[in-house]
Amino acid sequence: MTEAILEVEGLHKTFKGAVAVADVSFSLRPGAALAVVGESGSGKTTVARMIVGLERPTAGRITACGHDRSHPPRSVRERRRRGGEIQIVFQDPYSSLDPRQSPATAVDEILRLHTRLDAAGRRRRVAELADLVGLDERQMNVLPSELSGGQRQRVAIARALAAEPQILILDESVAALDVSIQAQVLNVLAGVRERTGVAYLFISHDLAVVRQVADEIVVMRGGSIVERGPTAQVLDNPRHPYTRLLRTSVPGPGWRPARRATRKETQ
């Protein structure tokens, strides 16, 4: 078994006394795809934000590519190095891009930061990345307002990959897309992983999408992990009652919504 590329141990986060994440631990191997599954309030997004450094853990340790990142970076160099290790793609394609910047310029800006390529080299790399996520030259050179949600999300993926990260966090990255667009982006993600060997940490509430993307799953509820294991095993034979509930709540052929008389929702 290879060494983990991302290691999360005993992660805690409280917001003004309210526990958002409690004792979360997991690890991600190079090139693997791990899904963090949960509903709103499960703490899955907070975990992602702590890993990329947008939120400070109350307690616990995060190690990525052999470097600790539980604390804010101490230098400009360290901050940039972290950028080269983990990148993130967010949910909302409409606010994920600077509205004043064309995709090509946005990717170019990242290349300037992380590589020593000259102008011609950067142009080549921008074209490569565009090809990787399936965008043409015209689309790379218009303003984001001219692009559809799916196209913007591809730009966000290309921009994240420009730093050549080892880990890509996808925080509900396909949740806001139409079904036909979602399928395109999921295929792009599959292709990217095959061609670059980047590892995915896939944050999602959608079990069907998770089945398509991830090798392994951790299921979160109320800030803690309730079940973990290989995707097929967890989805086909869920052990925890909550995972079973999630599984049976998904509409499908022969699905009949059932009223659970035992649990009336209370505020």
State the Cα–Cα distance between residues 21 and 222, nearest whole angstrom.
8
* Residue 250 binds to another protein (criterion: CB under 8 A): yes
Q: Cβ of residue 4: shortest distance to another protein, in angstroms?
A: 20
Smaller CB distance to another protein: residue 61 or 205?
205
* Residue 264 binds to another protein (criterion: CB under 8 A): yes
> What is the separation, in whole angstroms, between the first and last Cα of the chain?
46
What phi and psi values does residue 265 have, to the nearest 5 degrees?
A: -70, 130
* Residue 86 binds to another protein (criterion: CB under 8 A): yes
* Residue 156 binds to another protein (criterion: CB under 8 A): yes
Question: Which one of residues 26, 60, 90, 170 is an interface residue with another protein (CB under 8 A)?
Answer: 90
The dihedral through the CA atoms of 146, 183, 109, 105 has a sign that is negative
Site for another protein, residues 209 to 238, rule: CB under 8 A: 209, 211-212, 220, 231-232, 235
Smaller CB distance to another protein: residue 8 or 160?
160
Smaller CB distance to another protein: residue 5 or 160?
160
Site for another protein, residues 33 to 72, rule: CB under 8 A: 38-46, 52-54
Residues touching another protein: how many (CB under 8 A)?
100
Q: Report the side by side order of strands in the sheet with 224-230.
A: 86-89, 167-171, 199-204, 33-37, 216-221, 224-230
Q: Please identify, among the stretches 2-10, 24-32, 59-67, 73-81, the one whose residues bind another protein according to the rule CB under 8 A.
A: 73-81
Q: Please identify, among the stretches 4-12, 25-33, 64-72, 240-248, the one whose residues bind another protein according to the rule CB under 8 A.
A: 240-248
Question: Which one of residues 57, 83, 103, 238 is an interface residue with another protein (CB under 8 A)?
Answer: 83
* Residue 266 binds to another protein (criterion: CB under 8 A): yes
Q: Cβ of residue 44: shortest distance to another protein, in angstroms?
A: 5
Tokens of 154: 């591809």
* Residue 160 binds to another protein (criterion: CB under 8 A): yes
Smaller CB distance to another protein: residue 27 or 105?
105
Q: Please identify, among the stretches 2-10, 23-31, 57-65, 100-108, the one whose residues bind another protein according to the rule CB under 8 A.
A: 100-108
State the Cα–Cα distance between residues 208 and 204, nearest whole angstrom.
10
State the Cα–Cα distance between residues 14 and 58, nearest whole angstrom.
6
